[in-house]
Amino acid sequence: MTSSRVGLHGHWHTVRPLLRQLVAVVPPPPSRHWRAYLDDPVAGRVRLTGRLHDAHPGEGRGDELLVVVHGLGGSHRSIYTAEAAHAALAAGVSCLRLNLRGADRKGSDYYHAGLTADLDAVLASPDLAHFSRIYVLGYSVGGHLALRYASERPDPRVRAVASNCAPVDLARGGAEIDKPKGAPYRSKVLAGLREIYAEVARRRPVPIPVEEAAKIRTLREWDERVIAPRHGFASADDYYARASVAPRLDRIAIPTLAVVAEQDPMVFVHTVRPHLEGRTNVRAVFVSRGGHVGFPSDVDLGLGHAGDVESQIVAWLRAPS
């Protein structure tokens, strides 16, 4: 598929996980609250939170950890993060479902798609020091962040990185979802971002009043008026140019997997294929069945591993090929 047209199949598998949860809630595995801190030059002391799942409770500490990064407007409560945790624990791997700054709706700052300082702080946490093999799995914009992190100077304990339905060209990807076809999904993403912003506004000054932010209807305007001024970008275009991983993909030197849904109605395949197809340093898997971070249970990613998509990705991260 080379156009931006998406069939009903893509929409169905995008919303199906949410509908399934409405019918029968699948709880995440047992976990404990996790937190870390970093010092930001603008926001000061910033707290990061999440839920940490121990794969070996009462048996001594394991040495493998999967860090799961949510998508734009999401959090550790997003359905796919729990699915990743189940897959990790089934493989004997501990899992941290991370909240990027502000995503827990209790923070004093908010993140953007290239803010790898959060991942640096997470992996520097003393609470995670005993893990000697770490894997990073990001969904949607969290996948972009994972790829961007891989293109920089990742912690030497990070053995492999994977993204699920990640945009790689922020400008082009944002322009597509800002079109009328993206309205239902864009509305949901912006609702989550407004929640985060409102909570930050209760704790520190923000670029525009909460009431004005509530009227924003496109991602470009959000990035222009909310992201750019807070994070030192001259404009939305400057943010896209400096934060986007697309021009940095050649710098990735650790095993990296990118799963792309060809019928994704949020991250359109034609915006990512030119950057990922044919690469030797990133294994790109283009999947014909599925939607945005949602796939049929029997989809085979062609990685040589069995199970649902999360199980296949976790197995690949542990033994990339």
One-letter identity of residue 311: S
Asked if pLDDT for residue 4 goes beyond 80, the answer is no
CB atoms within 10 A of CB 210: 14
At 23-73, the pLDDT tens digits run 667 789 999 999 999 999 999 999 999 999 999 987 767 899 999 999 999
Of 171, 51, 188, 41, give the one whose Cα is nearest residue 109.
41
- The CATH homologous superfamily for domain 8-318 is Alpha/Beta hydrolase fold, catalytic domain (3.40.50.1820)
Q: Which residue has the tokens 């070996």?
A: 56
9 versus 47: the higher-pLDDT residue is: 47
At 115-165, the pLDDT tens digits run 999 999 999 999 999 999 999 999 999 999 999 999 999 999 999 999 999
Asked if pLDDT for residue 274 goes beyond 70, the answer is yes
Q: Is the pTM of this model over 0.85?
A: yes
Q: Find out whether 1 and 25 touch, Cβ atoms under 8 Å.
A: no
CA-CA-CA-CA dihedral for 128, 129, 134, 137, to nearest 10: 30
Q: Find out whether 92 and 66 touch, Cβ atoms under 8 Å.
A: no
Angle of the 170-177 helix axis to the 236-243 helix axis, nearest 10: 130
Q: Is 44 helix (H, G, I), strand (E, B) or coil?
A: strand
Question: For 255, which DSSP code?
Answer: -
Backbone angles phi, psi at 107, to 5 degrees: -100, 175
Q: Is 50 helix (H, G, I), strand (E, B) or coil?
A: strand
pLDDT at 3: 45
